[in-house]
Amino acid sequence: MNKTKNEVKATDTDKSRIPGPCIMVIFGATGDLTKRKLIPALYDLYAQKMLPEKFKILGVTRGELSDKDFRQRMKDAHDEFSNGKENADQWDTFSEQLHCGPIDYDSRDSFENLKKTLQKIEDDYTIPGNHLFYLAIPPSAYLSVVQQLGAVGLNKPVNGDWTRIIIEKPIGYDLESAKELNYKVGEVFAEDQVYRIDHFLGKETVQNLLAFRFANGIFEPIWNRHYIDHVQITAGETVGVEGRGGYYERSGALRDMIQNHLLQVFAHTAMEAPVRFDADAFRDEKVKVFESVKPISREEVDTVVVRAQYTRGKMNGKEVPGYKEEEGVDKNSLTETYAALKLHINNWRWAGVPFYLRTGKRLPKRVSEVILVFKRIPHQIFQSDTGMGDGEIDANLLALRLQPDEGISLRFGAKVPGQGMKIKPVTMKFDYESTFNTKLADAYERLILDAMLGDAALFARYDGVEESWRILMPVLEAWQNAPVKELPIYEAGSWGPVEAEELMRRDGCWWRECL
């Protein structure tokens, strides 16, 4: 098959982004994140020849594991979780880059040994002292690892080399703990060394949201309160807690999805154009969005925020258990598996435009999308052919689908063929797969590569993390200080509780599936 013009351009651009020689150290080398995401992403980068020739991966784990056993485990994981099977010869050469060693997060001697191991790899393979540390470990162990790295001097680059650290979400449990973590990490690593990862920001479609806005003169002029009635941001999951009941009991939907993923997408949707596309300018504009969000008073929490919990229901014709029936979940749990809230931005662009964010487990579809609903025409002169009965013509709607079926669609009114002037909504659609004829890269591929290149634009900065927590703290405090006996419920396989529908209807709006 001949490559399209678009494919060739994308490939040429990518080749200019090959990083210099380095060693990537993965803490939590046998954990779920490493097996499901990191190793498949690194292998795909290797297969695309996007990694430097001199590159090693050192996996460290609490148990003893030989290089041979580690490589076999990673191959088994790749076979299970990767989108495609690896080329046997190519995997063999890739696996030669994998090494493994033991670690004790609380032992200074263990980190001294890690330092010696890195030095030996550098000497044996003539690799400069460029180090990328990845914390694929529980948040409770973050500070131990950070402080031990500092204690043995692995936080400080030498001889012009670089040292960086990637920290996974969650960054804190609330505003206070996020500030504490940022402060203590900042005592060991400079801010420009710290890469707080949110895989949502590595998705091609989230990045394309920026390109769509700022590279097209047709849309940016109408991306404001004069033309947009409201914005909906959805992250729906069909799965339940998947055996992670213990973790989910401590987090809930608001902390697990909205505080990081959805608020990041919200900022991308609402931000002003940066003066240049570099990390500081880009993240400055995102922080300005967070700072401009109208604070939610504790008194209005019940009117602008909805939480609920799924009960037993049917998914794809199969009955599934309710949340309280899941393994590791308290039978009297008040943890929300669904959350929706309304936010307002107090600035010139968005004053008066509500943003509705929602996420939930056990919804009918796995979907992440941004919906911009435009204001209706001021004077109706045509008849609607939607069968709604009220004569209203549907509002124009722009949908940016982040996953799956990635693409963009625009709904507008068109005349129905035949006599008369009846208007019916039609959709014009773009999708990545048919247009570019290529598989979208996994988010971790982009983000790992960016970290190696020192490009922090798609990573969260400390102030952005803290500001996103600030937005939600009145909600979390209200829930804590005024506990309820039961949460609203929704049946697994439905789009959520009736309370979420009422949240929109009070403003004369409807969620996407009802539009």
- Greater pLDDT, 165 or 44: 165
- pLDDT at position 204 is 82
Q: Under 8 Å CB-to-CB from 229, ≥6 apart: which residues?
A: 353, 373, 374, 375, 376, 395, 509
Round to whole Å and give the CA distance between 396 and 373. Answer: 6
Mean pLDDT of 297-318: 94
- pLDDT at position 159 is 86
Percent with pLDDT over 90 in the chain: 68
Round to whole Å and give the CA distance between 25 and 61. Answer: 11
- Paired tokens of 51: 């990694």
Round to whole Å and give the CA distance between 393 and 426. Answer: 12
**What are the boundaries of each domain within the chain?**
5-168, 202-377+461-514
- Greater pLDDT, 486 or 86: 486
Would you call 351 helix, strand, or coil by DSSP? coil
Same fold, 5-168 and 202-377+461-514: no
Round to whole Å and give the CA distance between 108 and 458. Answer: 33
- 417-431 confidence digits (pLDDT tens): 877 777 778 888 888
Name the one residue in this structure whose structure tokens are 């799956």. 404
Amino acid letter for position 280:
D
Would you call 166 helix, strand, or coil by DSSP? strand
Active-site annotation holder among 78, 230, 261, 268: 261
Total Cβ atoms within 10 A of residue 111 = 24
- 141-154 confidence digits (pLDDT tens): 999 999 999 999 99
- 197-211 confidence digits (pLDDT tens): 998 888 888 888 888
**CB-based contact 344:293 (threshold 8 Å):** yes
| Sign of the dihedral through C-alpha 504, 508, 512, 514 | positive
Strands 367-374 and 313-315: unpaired
**CB-based contact 432:407 (threshold 8 Å):** yes
C-alpha dist (Å) from residue 147 to 113, 151, 331, 513: 15, 6, 38, 48
Nearest CA to 395 out of 372, 362, 415, 416 is that of 372
163-168 β-sheet, strand order: 98-102, 55-61, 22-27, 131-135, 163-168, 194-197
Mean pLDDT of 160-166: 95
- 234-283 confidence digits (pLDDT tens): 999 999 988 888 889 999 999 999 998 999 999 999 999 999 888 999 99
| Sign of the dihedral through C-alpha 492, 498, 504, 508 | positive
- Paired tokens of 72: 């076999």
Annotate 68-115 with DSSP letters as a single string: HHHHHHHHHHHHHHSSSPPPHHHHHHHHTTEEEEE--TT-HHHHHHHH
- Paired tokens of 412: 């507008």
Query: 131 catalytic, yes or no?
Result: no
- pLDDT at position 14 is 60
- pLDDT at position 101 is 92
pTM: 0.90
Mean pLDDT of 171-196: 96
Mean pLDDT of 330-357: 96
Annotate 358-420 with DSSP letters as a single string: EEESS-SS-EEEEEEEEPPPSS--SEE-SS-SS-PPPPPEEEEEEESS-EEEEEEEEEPSSSS
Q: For the chain, how long is the longest CA-to-CA vector?
A: 85
Cα torsion for 353, 358, 363, 367, to the nearest 10°? 70
Q: Spelled out in words, what is the top-level CATH class assigned to the domain 202-377+461-514?
A: alpha beta
Amino acid letter for position 361:
K
C-alpha dist (Å) from residue 248 to 69, 241, 257, 414, 445: 32, 7, 11, 46, 26
- 450-482 confidence digits (pLDDT tens): 999 999 999 999 999 999 999 999 999 999 998
Please list the helix, strand and coil fractions of the chain in percent, rounded to the nearest 5, in that order. 40, 20, 35
Name the one residue in this structure whose structure tokens are 């650290």. 165
Say yes or no to pLDDT of 10 above 80: no
Mean pLDDT of 392-417: 85
DSSP H or E stretch at residue 319: strand 318-320
Name the one residue in this structure whose structure tokens are 């952005």. 464
Classified by CATH at the fold level, domain 5-168 comes out as Rossmann fold (3.40.50)
Round to whole Å and give the CA distance between 139 and 125. Answer: 33
